[in-house]
Amino acid sequence: MFNADEILAIAVKIERNAQAFYGRAAETVSAEPIRALFRDLAQWEISHERLFSAMRDKFAAQQAAAAVMDPDGEAAKYLQAIADGEIFAVEQTEADLAAMGDDPANILATAIQREKDSVVFYLAMKEMVPASLGRGDIDKIIAEEMSHVRFLAAKAREL
């Protein structure tokens, strides 16, 4: 069983990993417009991390042990796979970026896939977070992550 605090901790980790990915990507590419894009994306992820951290604080103040309903354990298994490093995993980020070098198109393609993965995670997470804890805030994050996918796809087409 996951409780809401654990789910939110995973979300914070994903956002930190995304920050690291975009920060490292900004250092990897030489084209300044793409560097600026990745720096902006890192800042967006910082705002998401702050939101999830605030949700965790709110949760801790309400009830630290409230369990999330997942009678068959499917959502918990999915979230555990995510917790084990599937989305924006820092170790994979370094290997991926080293292999891609200064290739903005490949970096953007990787970023798009990772943003899509985060959308799927947040959709699953939303079902496990009580409305009183900020399910509506997760909808906002989902919408923003989806806008990241659209934005990155447009940038990739420009290349």
Q: Give per-residue pLDDT as tens, 74-91.
A: 666 666 666 555 666 656
Q: Which residue has the higher pLDDT, 11 or 38?
A: 38
Using DSSP, state whether 3 is helix, strand or coil.
strand
Q: Please tell me whether residue 2 adopts helix, strand or coil conformation.
A: coil
DSSP string, 22-66: HHHHHHH---HHHHHHHHHHHHHHHHHHHHHHHHHHHHHHH-TTP
Q: Which residue has the tokens 């959502």?
A: 75
Question: What is residue 39's predicted lDDT score, i.e. its pLDDT?
Answer: 94
pTM: 0.73
- 115: confidence class by pLDDT, cuts 50, 70, 90: confident
The token pair that represents 52 in the structure block: 């999830």
Higher pLDDT, 111 or 100: 111
Fold of 4-158: Ferritin (1.20.1260)
Q: Quick check: 90 and 20 in contact, CB under 8 A? A: yes
